[in-house]
A and B are shown apart, each in its own frame.
Chain A
Amino acid sequence: MSVANIKEEQGRIVIALEGDIDLENAGEVRKALLANLKQKKDLLIDLSAVSYIDSSGIASLVEGLQVARKQKNELSLVSVSPRALRVLELARLDKVFAIHADVATALAARP
């Protein structure tokens, strides 16, 4: 139950993740990201319901980011839970990813 919901809002795909993301299900996250990136649209990853994420989950996000950048799309994180933010900070990736308070802010941030 790593990928909770996928919807499209104002031309961007919003993928909501939930629960614990570790080696067991990081592959599902990676698959969902890469599959949706094929639409060549910007991605917003909602991390509000993520209770735990480890390096394998982060690695999936990083791979998504790399693919997005290559194809000139954006991949941003929104509603990052404190736990997920702590892990991003540990990885020093909090400055690499664009992080927004919530989906609305993210949508507003870019014309």
Chain B
Amino acid sequence: MTITTTNSGDSGALNFAATLARSFAASLNVDATVGQALASIIQLLETEAGSLFLLDDTGAMLVCRASVGPVKIDGLAVPMGQGIVGRAVAEDRLLVVENAYEDKNFFKAADERTGFVTRSILCAPMRVGDKLIGAVQVLNKRSGHPFDGVDGKDANMLQVMANAAALAISNARLADQLLEQERIKRELELASEIQRSLLPAEDDDLPICGINRPIREVSGDFYDYFELPDGTIAFALGDVSGKGMNAALLMAKTASLFRCLGKTIRDPARLLSILNREICETTSRGMFVTMVAGLYEPATGLLRYANAGHLPPLIKFPDHLYETVAPDAPPLGILRDMHFIDHEIDLKGGLFVAFSDGLTEFRYGDEELGVDGLNQLLEYAHDGPLRQRLEMVLAELDQGGWQAKDDLTLLAIDDRAAGKAWQRERVPAVAAPAEADFLFGLSFPADPSRLKMMRPALEAAAKACQFGEDEIQDLVLAAGEAIENIMIHAYGGQVKGEITLAVHRLPDGIMLRLRDFAPRVDAGKIEPRPLDEVRPGGLGTHFIRAIMDDASFIPLPDGEGNLLELVKRRKNATESAEATAVAAAGGADSKGGN
């Protein structure tokens, strides 16, 4: 900015003030404003040098923020009350020094350092309303005359201009603060986005769903879940003490640790204990995390969890609500060596609900939602896909005028939806041999009551494969034994485990493939018993080996369950091989199943 003026009178100062105000309205930068103000003042007062000082944050030091003249003194700090500048501010009045070296307040250090010779000084404090923000001083009139007195023209002009500059600087500072606020807001938005990315991706194929609604940009709550290779779902819900950025950072740390540890540690209590130690070691005092972590098996409906000082999760059954036991261990981050306890629940088709206190502390006037209120809402939203039901709960609260007081997080597992897992893609099928003709596939729970339903189908299949009556009965027996082995050994009697059976016709017999999704079975453990030993057990495996020509496990990737292949060939196979080959060729396109 350049201000040109031909008359250096009062009107010049007023013009200056007006121009400065106009120009600074557009300026958003304190340093630029300070420099412009000083340059204009020196030009108008026709002085050799000048400097502008602003009080620092402590209010004890005046720091030179701009200087004009043969020597730059930017950055020079003068204690409040010292030197001409320090006194002008301390005493809040304009000072005129006709001969600097005769004034005891003159701060000679600057001249000694710079070689500039100060003759006379005019220094005006700068104020905005009641608040002193600094001072501006001009040195040595170019004319060589000293500045006229305190009531003189120079002094009046400087004070007017100092006031205008003060206002401009103050405005620029406000603008800077706004910019800073804007920057913080953007950073918060970014933090909020990163936090949302820590939450698991929505997967409507899983019987688990969560909702997190922060009360500010960032949240101290979190939830997470992920599916392990065997179909088990690991989940957690946590609430970090406090709100805002520090809570959000601890949330991010806890969530990341859970996601990492949860993939290998299949024991919620142990997982919490390791998390606790980690958080105790590295987290600032006074912060803690309440958390529920667990594992849910969609195949069996079994849920194992541990609770570190968090609100007890609920299980909603069609006809009643079950509140789990109160937490038996303190929150994470309080005591380093803590034991946590695993609890196991059979969900039996119920809805498991973990939540942060932000949910039950929803308020309507003086009324708090509480567990009973939550139960009513869950009852109301009992139908439809899980996500839709959780959203219904929140929509009902919002529309009913309920007010949130805290971050809100809700995580639910719907055991009813567990069966959906059956329709989901499993591992790529292990291709059946080319000569196999796929007859049919069945999928059924590991429930012994299904055995009798299987037998007629197998009998029909064996008949279609041209087995004789006795062989058919044997085959049905062997298949039944293999299925019972899966029920007893692989699923340990858990009747919700899934079993699939694929029946293939071979040119010279039949091939059955039995698949389960249980942990890997050590084939060596299911040994037939010595037959001279009269006792139950092991007999089924003996039957399979006695009846089938081949019984072997086909290797599957770890965590993908077990695949048993049974083959029986006809006794008269060689005689009718030709006839069978013709029959098999007819259905050769329909390969499928396991």
Nearest chain A residue, comparing its CB with the CB of B449: A24
Asked if A102 is at the interface of the complex by the 8 Å CB criterion, the answer is: no
Nearest chain B residue, comparing its CB with the CB of A62: B536
Please state if B487 and A23 are interface contacts (CB–CB under 8 Å).
Answer: yes
A76 → chain B closest CB, angstroms:
15
Chain B residues within 8 Å of A14, by CB = none
Asked if A18 is at the interface of the complex by the 8 Å CB criterion, the answer is: no
Please state if B543 and A56 are interface contacts (CB–CB under 8 Å).
Answer: no
Task: Provide the bound-state CA to CA distance between A65 and B473, in Å.
Answer: 26
- Known A-B contacts A24-B451, A52-B455; the reply to A86 vs B470 at CB < 8 A is yes
- Known A-B contacts A62-B534, A66-B535; the reply to A22 vs B480 at CB < 8 A is yes
Task: Provide the bound-state CA to CA distance between A91 and B473, in Å.
Answer: 15
Please state if B537 and A59 are interface contacts (CB–CB under 8 Å).
Answer: yes
Annotate A34-55 by CB proximity to B: 1 below 8 A, 0 otherwise: 0000000000000000001011
Task: Tell me the interface secondary structure of chain A in the complex.
Answer: helix
Task: Tell me the interface secondary structure of chain B in the complex.
Answer: helix
Nearest chain A residue, comparing its CB with the CB of B537: A59
Chain A residues within 8 Å of B537, by CB = 59
Task: Provide the bound-state CA to CA distance between A56 and B448, in Å.
Answer: 11
With beta carbons under 8 angstroms apart, the residue of B470, B480, B535, B546 that contacts A54 is B480
Chain A residues within 8 Å of B546, by CB = 90
A83 → chain B closest CB, angstroms:
6
Please state if A55 and B484 are interface contacts (CB–CB under 8 Å).
Answer: yes
A72 → chain B closest CB, angstroms:
17
B532 → chain A closest CB, angstroms:
8
Most chain B CB atoms below 10 A, which of A23, A59, A90? A23
Extra A-B contacts (15), CB below 8 Å, given A83-B473, A91-B539: A22-B451, A22-B452, A22-B480, A22-B484, A23-B451, A23-B487, A24-B449, A54-B477, A54-B484, A55-B539, A55-B540, A56-B540, A60-B536, A62-B535, A87-B543
B457 → chain A closest CB, angstroms:
14
Asked if B481 is at the interface of the complex by the 8 Å CB criterion, the answer is: yes
B472 → chain A closest CB, angstroms:
11
- Known A-B contacts A22-B451, A22-B452, A59-B536; the reply to A86 vs B474 at CB < 8 A is yes
Please state if B543 and A90 are interface contacts (CB–CB under 8 Å).
Answer: yes
Please state if B452 and A55 are interface contacts (CB–CB under 8 Å).
Answer: no
A53 → chain B closest CB, angstroms:
9
Chain B residues within 8 Å of A90, by CB = 474, 477, 542-543, 546-547
Annotate A64-85 by CB proximity to B: 1 below 8 A, 0 otherwise: 0110000000000000000100
Chain A residues within 8 Å of B449, by CB = 24
Which residues between 425 and 478 of chain B lie within 8 Å of chain A, taking CB atoms?
Answer: 448-449, 451-452, 455, 470, 473-474, 476-477
